[in-house]
Structure 1
Amino acid sequence: AMYAAWGFGILLALTPGTISWSAPWWLVKLAAVLLLSWYHGILSAWRRRLRDDARPEVTILRRSGVVPIVLMVVIVTMVLVRP
């Protein structure tokens, strides 16, 4: 799903007239999407360590659910409001 979202997002960005390249909102959205993709990689590494019976920090796992929520709120806000 992440690869499809990246692919369709790039296609949408390349569509003429879709994005005003002088507006700063798309840079904020791009940064949030890049952070979300980076975080996906971090979670994949944690999953592999858990599979190999490593013991991660419990506090990190408890707080890890907040990051994607905050990033998704930023992404959706940038698209809908376009400040």
Structure 2
Amino acid sequence: MEADGADMVLLEPAQFTSDVLTTLRTQTRVPLFPFSVSGEYLTLTHVDPDTGQRDVRLLVELFTMLKRAGASASLTYAALDIARRVA
């Protein structure tokens, strides 16, 4: 990958990449970015009928696990929702 000029590696869907991340982290130094596709966003979140806000706790757990597996960062549709939750 690096020999071919890769600046980074994008992996999707994020939910199923932890084993790949662990392996890639030992084989390359380029940044690894799991991308959470829209289906994961909709499946792993739900809207609270009282507040109208999305519950992103499962996504926070997913991205914590991916970071521990070797992700440099993560790309997700839920970035603003997660930032509001952890802020």
Q: How high is the TM-score relative to the length of structure 1? A: 0.30
The structure with more radius of gyration: 1
Q: Which has the higher strand share?
A: 2
